[in-house]
């Protein structure tokens, strides 16, 4: 398995080692290609559930006058109740 944390925005300062420039640029090229994106708008009363360790995700901007509500729940899968969390996604 390969793990990767990737952030590309103007909020967090990102430092890329020179040896990783090419890989960083390839990742940016890939994620900025609309053919590799699924873009949708959540409507009122909709929810998005995503595995942060398996899905590269982000969001588009929103105006300061728009109401945005974010509720976050974190599951680490180590609870004795974790087997109840079958959300229908393949492993």
Classified as helix, coil or strand, 53 is coil
Choose among 30, 28, 29, 50: nearest CA to 40: 50
- What is the per-residue pLDDT for 3? 66
Choose among 80, 91, 89: nearest CA to 48: 89
Q: Determine the Cα–Cα distance for residues 59 and 40; give it in Å rounded to an integer.
A: 10
Q: What is the pLDDT of residues 26-84, one digit of tens each?
A: 988 998 899 998 888 888 888 887 777 778 887 777 777 877 777 777 766 666 766 66
Whole-prediction pTM value? 0.57
Q: Determine the Cα–Cα distance for residues 17 and 19; give it in Å rounded to an integer.
A: 5
- What is the per-residue pLDDT for 29? 92
- Residue 91: pLDDT over 60: no
């Amino acid at each position: 398995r390969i793990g990767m944390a990737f952030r590309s925005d103007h909020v967090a300062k990102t430092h890329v080692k020179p040896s990783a420039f090419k890989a960083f640029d390839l990742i940016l090229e890939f994620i900025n290609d609309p053919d590799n994106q699924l873009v949708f708008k959540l409507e009122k009363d909709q929810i998005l559930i995503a595995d942060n360790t398996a899905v590269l995700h982000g969001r588009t901007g929103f105006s300061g006058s728009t109401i945005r509500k974010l509720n976050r729940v974190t599951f680490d899968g180590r609870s004795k109740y974790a087997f109840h969390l079958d959300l229908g996604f393949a492993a």
